[in-house]
Amino acid sequence: MDLRDDDLFTVAGSLAELLGAPVTIEDENSTVLAYSGGEQAVDEARIGTILGRQVPSRIRELLSHAGVFERLHRETDPIYVDLADPAITPRLVIAVRDNNIAVGSIWVALSGQPTPTQESTLRAAVAVVAEHIASERDRINSTRRRQTERVKALIGGGEQAFRAAEDLRLHGPLTVVAVGATTGFMPSTVAASLGLYLDTLAVDAVVAQLVDSTYLVVAADEANTRRLLEDFLGRARERAQLAVAVGRTVKSASECHLSRADADHVLGALRHNQSGGIVAGMKDTLASVLALHVADIFDGLGDATPLGALEDHDRRHGSELVATARTFLDKGGDVANSSAALHVHPNTLRNRLRRCKDMCGVDLTDAETRLILMLQFKLRTS
């Protein structure tokens, strides 16, 4: 069986002819790499797998509970699978390994028990399929590396960004987007999912995974970019743990570093606040961004800050000056509303405000003091 010059879909089709049964080739994560044509509607499992390019979760659970994946991990011979479930007819499956590393599997939908000829044909196909999978991965990795370098150049701005944009035929207006996880690690599938989503909509954009964030450069203004990303996030399985930060729109690639800086600042604020499942720009997060920029300064000053002085007084005297100051600022300096929120008499509130000034040097009628306190409270509540 010499199929080494064919692509993986042709291999799947030729193998289906030799076996007399439909074939699906998957990677080690049950993602469809190729399938034979003409016989998609064999059963629910095959229909769902081909349409979704991924084995449906219910079918995966059935196979997992039956120990099929565990056997594929340790066995080299074809495995006959009959789950007695109408959703999935009997299968003959074999693991595909490259240098003893699992890279995928070949699945054959059968109408009955496999014949010795079918089993021997499937064994012979493993080496060919392994070679094709390895070759395809090399091609994908090479393409991904080139794309990553171009995205790095774009978001760096300047002349190198201009050249990268010319190579990619990406013209302004441009908007940079940073996507990151608010907790845990960034899901490895996000960059690929974003790329596929944008390709489906024929949006001019480039995507790359850089360290712990995925960056996009989109040929659209900020408003349209936000709409695209909101739609994508609404579809993403990992949406609850993803934060999407949209930078400003720039006129040319040479200014992309400005949009990238915005996106980085916004993403930092979203991560600090653990605000997953949202798309935000600088206007949405400006207070948090500013607060984070001065956080290190506040940490180094200790009790010398207004909040530090109030907290020290509360610790030593059992007072409630911090709560009073926070509520007073939240209510816009309105004594009646503040005292009602604190469930105290207005005169009690006024006495506490005097104590803030006289005992701690924190004058809540002073604009600069209020600004500093609001930034500190923003950091504490974020």
Across-strand partners of 280?
Answer: 245
Residue 2's pLDDT band, with cuts at 50, 70 and 90, is very low
Whole-angstrom Cα Rg for the chain: 30
- For residues 308-322, average pLDDT: 91
Phi/psi-derived region of residue 53, left when phi > 0, alpha when psi is between -120 and 50, beta in every other case = left
Residue 337 in this model has a pLDDT that exceeds 90: yes
pLDDT tens for each residue of 76-113: 999 999 988 887 888 999 999 988 888 899 999 998 89
AA identity, residue 295: A
Which residues, 6+ apart, have CB-to-CB distance to 354 below 8 Å? none
Q: 368 burial class (0-12, 13-18, 19+ CB within 10 angstroms)?
A: exposed
What CA–CA distance (Å, rounded) separates 290 from 382?
12
User: DSSP 3-state assignment of 63?
Assistant: helix
What CA–CA distance (Å, rounded) separates 92 from 129?
16
pLDDT tens for each residue of 152-209: 888 888 888 888 888 888 887 999 999 998 887 777 778 888 887 888 788 888 888 8
pLDDT tens for each residue of 212-258: 889 999 999 999 999 999 998 888 877 888 999 999 999 989 899 99
What CA–CA distance (Å, rounded) separates 18 from 11?
11
Phi and psi angles of residue 233, each rounded to the nearest 5 degrees, phi first: -65, -35
Residue 4 in this model has a pLDDT that exceeds 70: no
pLDDT tens for each residue of 141-150: 676 677 788 8
- Name residue, tokens 């930060």: 245
Tell me the CB-side half-sphere exposure of residue 92, using CA atoms within 13 A. 24
Q: In the numeric block, which tokens belong to residue 323?
A: 């709560």
- Give percent above pLDDT 70 in the chain: 93
What CA–CA distance (Å, rounded) separates 330 from 308?
18
AA identity, residue 255: E
pLDDT of residue 52: 67
What does the angle CA 173 – CA 267 – CA 291 come to, to the nearest 5 degrees?
Answer: 115
What CA–CA distance (Å, rounded) separates 80 from 302?
69
